[in-house]
Amino acid sequence: MSKDQLASLQLAIMRVLWARGEASVADVRQELAGGGRELAYTTVATMLVKLEKKGQVTHRAEGKAFLYRPSVQQDSVSRSMVTDLAQRLFAGDVTRMVSHLLDGCEVSAEELARLRHLIQQREQQAADQEGLA
């Protein structure tokens, strides 16, 4: 697993930190419990220490508590995890991956329009790059 790859619990903790910007172990634990994930305080604290060792979070002391904040951007982690997923499940075949997503999810007309727009942008970028070559 690369630096930007996260296991399920790590990802849940990072989502709390990305949403809040900064949080104590107790804050993270409470937020996770509100989402149906009851965890011991020590479990959350241990995961935050592991995330810090991986370079995913940093902390500062405030009184007796540590406040943790993300040191990686959510987009960077998402991009890394999607790339890894594409490689592992679809051998890098993006068309197959997108096809599976479209078949397995409800996609609104707005989302389809946005996808078309993204594809058109990529086509334009590719055409521009070919023109430079």
Domain assignment of residue 24, yes or no: yes
Domain check: are 23 and 57 in the same one?
Answer: yes
* Domain extent at residue 28: 8-70
Domain assignment of residue 60, yes or no: yes
Nearest to 9 by CA among 40, 42, 37, 41: 37
Domain check: are 16 and 54 in the same one?
Answer: yes
Domain assignment of residue 85, yes or no: no
Domain assignment of residue 81, yes or no: no
Higher per-residue pLDDT: 132 or 11? 11
Domain assignment of residue 3, yes or no: no
Q: Which residues of 30-65 are buried (b: 16+ CB within 10 A; e: fewer)?
A: ebbeeeeeebeeeebbebbeebeebebbebeeeeee
- Sign of the C-alpha dihedral computed for residues 38, 67, 48 and 20 taken in this order: positive
89-125 tens-digit pLDDT: 999 999 999 999 999 999 999 999 999 999 999 999 9
Domain assignment of residue 83, yes or no: no
How many domains is the chain built from?
A: 2
Domain check: are 52 and 100 in the same one?
Answer: no
Give the predicted TM-score (pTM) of the model: 0.78
